Amino acid sequence: MIRIAIPNKGRLHDPTVSLLKEAGIPVLQGGTRKLFAKTTDPEITYLFARAADIPEYVQDGAADVGITGMDLISETDSDVDVMLDLNFGGSSLVLAVPEDSTIASSSELEGMRVATEFPNITRKYFENQGINIDIVKVSGACEMTPHVGIADAIVDISSSGTTLVTNHLKMIEKVFTSSVYLIANKNSRENSDKIGQIQTAVESVLRAKGKRYLMMNVPADSLETVKEVLPGLAGPTVMKVESDESILAVHAVIDSDNIFATVDKLKGAGAKDILVVPIERMMP
């Protein structure tokens, strides 16, 4: 049995559950309200946990696989296999000060107090610059600490910067950039082919995002012109069509951002009966 730890709530929960569903290992209905949940695969079960606890759960073997933020993996310094960037949940840890502060860089914080929920990342950041600070560890409402005299600056998560502005803070430096990753217990990964299958299933969904499958009929004498138009991954697939005319079926995978311009060019090059089809998965 493979146990996958996933965030039980917060901004990472819904995209994680959605991605796993697309990968073919959905959480069974109603499962998110429990500590454990079954999947359609009898060999896989989910463990719902705080995102901050998942790195250590995976490191210690309470879970074989986990999905959580790189900031949390780095903060706990967990010894896990980092398998795959899932390309969502992007955020930054930023160094911020009150908007009326004259402090403009980390070097000006020598001997001052910095409040954060990420003391290890913060300590490493300042140590690498040779700056001595006092770290004030907090477990919430970090953005309030400079206004009540607890700290001179903060290191906190910022996705859009809105929270900083709302709390009359300004970013002066970016400390750490994070997104969500698929991780595994090192011993579990070495001893389970199933974990490799999970990674492949998830990666196939990520590879398909932003791609479209084009199918069209092309007169044989227009093939070379059409091939010049197609920005495919590895060139188009060309097949003969059983027809009284000299017609070829041409298939290609292209970025969805290029669909509008590409279809117009293909029609100009002689392609017809063009179909644009979404792609659910692309196996690595």
Q: How confident is the model at residue 244 (pLDDT cuts 50, 70, 90)?
A: confident
Residue 284 inside a domain? The answer is no
> For residue 29, what is the domain's CATH number?
3.40.190.10
Q: How many CA atoms lie within 13 A of 140 on its CB side?
A: 0
Q: Per the structure block, which two tokens stand in for 123?
A: 């300590």
Residues 104 and 70 in one domain: no
Dihedral-angle region of residue 18 (phi above 0 means left; psi in -120 to 50 means alpha; beta otherwise): alpha
What pLDDT digit, counting tens, does each position of 191-219 carry?
A: 889 999 999 999 999 999 989 999 999 99
Phi, psi torsion values for 159, nearest 5 degrees: -95, -45
From the CA atom positions of the chain, what is the Rg in Å? Answer: 25
What pLDDT digit, counting tens, does each position of 68-121 carry?
A: 999 999 999 999 999 999 999 888 999 999 999 999 999 999 999 999 999 999
Q: How confident is the model at residue 242 (pLDDT cuts 50, 70, 90)?
A: confident
Residues 84 and 10 in one domain: yes
Residues 147 and 23 in one domain: no
Q: What are the helix (H) ranges across the chain? A: 13-22, 54-60, 70-76, 119-128, 162-166, 186-190, 193-208, 223-229, 259-268
- Amino acid present at 282: M
Residue 14 has pLDDT above 60, yes or no: yes
Work out the average pLDDT over 57-69: 97
Q: Per the structure block, which two tokens stand in for 20?
A: 């796993």
Residues 68 and 15 in one domain: yes
Average pLDDT taken over every residue of the chain: 92
Residue tagged 């060999």 (tokens): 43
Residue ranges making up the domain that contains 254: 211-278
Residues 202 and 140 in one domain: no
Residues 196 and 240 in one domain: no
User: Which residues are bridge partners to 150 per DSSP?
Assistant: none
Looking at 188, 207, 226, the residue that finishes a domain is: 207
